[in-house]
Amino acid sequence: MKISKTGIPEVLLFEPTVHGDERGYFMETFRASVFRARGLVFDFVQENQSRSAKGTLRGLHFQHQFPQGKIVRVIAGEVFDVAVDLRVSSPTFGQWVGAVLTAENRKQLWVPPGFAHGFYVLSENADLCYRCTEYYHPEDDHSLLWSDPKVAVNWPLVSPEPLLSAKDAAAKQLHEIPLYP
């Protein structure tokens, strides 16, 4: 597996080795020993899957008291996946990185604890899977406003306004949310 740093060094892009022939393909999406050899130790406790329609924006979500690390991958379709650094002591505080994840490119994004995460659907539909290092705690669920001008994520919108949940439409700006040390 190829592991690459992004513009924020702690956010990593994983590219699995794909073995294919006329029957199809095989790939390992996670192997603890490979990650441990690179100093990455994950203890996953939950795996989630979502399906979203074109133009849907989910996020930017985070848990403050129970921060989650996530390995995100797309199993059908295409998304623009984003991580925003919410660690006030970080030199990249308030900055974001994004990557196009597709079923075809099979890339995965590691979003560490201390980051908000979100994605925007570019294809007709997209199925996204992500493994989490902490359980979901609904009482600790927070959202950073997707259009916060201070963060200024450059979303590749296919229409002027994305499809949002009520929670995401009411999300707060960076100066209004709980932050990490």
Query: Which residues have a Cβ under 8 Å from the Cβ of 157 and sit 6 or more positions away?
Result: 55, 120
What is the average per-residue pLDDT within 163-169?
97
The predicted pLDDT at position 53 comes to 97
Of the candidates 117, 120, 130, 137, the residue annotated as catalytic is 130
Given a contact cutoff of 8 angstroms between Cβ atoms, the answer to whether 92 and 151 are in contact is: no
Q: For residue 153, what is the DSSP state?
A: -
175 among known catalytic residues: no
How many C-beta atoms surround the C-beta of residue 157 within 10 A? Answer: 13
Q: In the predicted model, is pLDDT for residue 41 greater than 90? A: no
120 among known catalytic residues: no
What is the average per-residue pLDDT within 9-20?
92
List strand residue ranges (DSSP E) for 54-178, in order: 57-63, 70-76, 78-85, 96-102, 108-111, 115-121, 125-132, 141-143
How many C-beta atoms surround the C-beta of residue 102 within 10 A? Answer: 17
d(CA 176, CA 81): 23
Share of the chain above pLDDT 70, in %: 100
Q: How confident is the model at residue 36 (pLDDT cuts 50, 70, 90)?
A: confident
List strand residue ranges (DSSP E) for the chain, in order: 2-5, 12-15, 18-21, 24-27, 46-53, 57-63, 70-76, 78-85, 96-102, 108-111, 115-121, 125-132, 141-143
pTM greater than the 0.85 cutoff: yes
Q: In the predicted model, is pLDDT for residue 45 greater than 90? A: yes
Mean pLDDT of the chain: 95
Given a contact cutoff of 8 angstroms between Cβ atoms, the answer to whether 50 and 57 are in contact is: no
The first and second tokens of residue 44, run together, are 């996953």
Task: Return the SS3 of 163.
Answer: strand
Q: In the predicted model, is pLDDT for residue 55 greater than 90? A: yes
The predicted pLDDT at position 35 comes to 82
Share of the chain above pLDDT 90, in %: 84
Q: Which domains does the chain have, with CATH numbers?
A: 2-176 (2.60.120.10)
Of the candidates 25, 61, 64, 180, the residue annotated as catalytic is 61
d(CA 130, CA 110): 9
Q: In the predicted model, is pLDDT for residue 39 greater than 90? A: no
What is the average per-residue pLDDT within 139-157?
98
The first and second tokens of residue 131, run together, are 């493994």
Write out pLDDT tens, residues 100-122.
999 999 999 999 999 999 999 99
What is the average per-residue pLDDT within 157-178?
95
Task: Return the SS3 of 29.
Answer: coil
